[in-house]
Structure 1
Amino acid sequence: MNLTGKQKRFLKSKAHHLTPVYQIGKGGLNDEIKTGIREALERRELIKVSLLQNTDEEASEVATLLAEQLGLMVVQIIGRVLVLFKPSSKEKYQKLSKEVKSI
């Protein structure tokens, strides 16, 4: 599923007030962080992830890796903050994805 411009704008507006759920630091992008991001997206569908100053990772590289490995969509990259979206597979958590589909 690719996001249209209107869908991305909608998700950006929803993500504006969110605080980053995960922070990637000097340990880099490891399996524990990937698992945590996957679980957070399953429940929330839309999260922010920030890259700390002490990491060697680049935001665009992390976004590409996460998109490939976890099957999520990168809504926006602002500096060192990623906004990520993935529709939940569970019906009770599918609030945002239903709104996105209707746009």
Structure 2
Amino acid sequence: MITTKQRAYLRSLANDMQPIFQLGKNGIEESFLKQIDDALEARELIKLNVLNNSGYETREASDIICKELNCEGIQAIGNKIVLYRKSTKKPKIEL
């Protein structure tokens, strides 16, 4: 679990990031989760876009992804989700 100061720091890092994935009509499938898992290992901090046709609310999608991938949901505002998980091989972000 991360503290509120760490969460604020991660939000500030994600502020100018562009979303690298879109959650669309296919929903949260195994292949989608695998791509997010790989991206979290490589980048540690990623931003997702939740499209209206996905059938998920932003917070709901964040909770499902975090539960499946054992990551932290940093922010879920509007249709954007920010996720964080410390890399097991090469940590880049120092909290």
Structure 2: gaps (5+ residues)? none
1:49 is aligned to 2:40: no
Amino-acid identity (%): 36
C-alpha RMSD of matched pairs (Å): 0.8
State the alpha-carbon separation in 2 of the partners of residues 30 and 80 from structure 1: 19
- Per-residue CA distance 1:43-69 (angstroms, 9 max, x = gap): 000000111122211111111111111
Q: Which has the larger radius of gyration?
A: 1
**Deviation above 4 Å: which 4+ runs of structure 1?**
none
Q: How many residues align?
A: 95
Report the secondary structure of 2:17's partner residue: coil
- The equivalent of 1:84 in structure 2 is 83
| Structure 1 portions without partners, runs of 5+ | none
Query: What SS does structure 2 have at the residue aligned with 1:84?
Result: strand
Counterpart residue number, 2:13:
14
Taking structure 2 as the reference length, the TM-score comes to 0.95
- Distance (Å, rounded) in 1 between the aligned partners of 2:86 and 2:63: 18
Residues 1:23 and 2:18 are matched in the alignment: no
Residue 5 (structure 1) aligns with: 4
- The alignment's TM-score, normalised by the length of structure 1, stands at 0.88
Give the residue type in structure 2 aligned to 1:19. Answer: Q
Q: As a proportion of its length, which structure holds more helix? A: 1
